[in-house]
Amino acid sequence: MSDFKQIFPLGQKNDAYAEYFVGQSYLALLTLEGVPTFNVTFEPGCRNNWHIHQGGGQILLCTAGTGWYQEEGKPAQILNPGDVVNIPAGVNHWHGATKDSWFAHVAMSVPVEGSTTEWGGPLTDEEYNMLG
């Protein structure tokens, strides 16, 4: 991690959501009034499970390292600092680091009353290892 530089704090180990991640991630709350906003940092190979944001979507602002984003039924796309991903409500997806890079993004939930996140199963190691 010594060569991994990011502009937001690393935060604490993401124990609260560890069951929904493969590998180690870190979470830092960022203050943005009325919009749940977090800096999420993934160690190399770490990714979250498939999930759907019901009610409101999510916006990812990629800030450091190299990662992946994939919507169900579509090919995975590489993410680099400066990339923005707008995830509409109801879209099944996952995101995380590449095998050999740390990755960080700011995750902003679209604030809609009653919004929830529906967590599914993990992307398998076999599926993940097939990515570039």
> Can you give the CATH number for the domain in which 21 is found?
2.60.120.10
Residue 52 lies in a domain: yes
Which residues have C-beta within 8 Å of that of residue 116, sequence separation ≥ 6?
53, 54, 55
* Residue 36 within a domain: yes
Query: Which amino acid, residue 120?
Result: G
In angstroms, the CA 124 to CA 54 distance is 23
Question: Residue 6 domain-assigned?
Answer: no
Residue 2, in any domain of the structure: no
At residue 18, the pLDDT reads 96
Q: Is residue 87 part of a domain?
A: yes
Residue 113 counted as domain residue = yes
Please state the domain count of the chain: 1
Residue 49's domain comprises 12-129
Residues of the chain with pLDDT under 50: none
With respect to residue 5, please indicate whether it lies within any of the assigned structural domains. no
- Residue 103 has phi, psi (to 5 degrees) of -150, 140
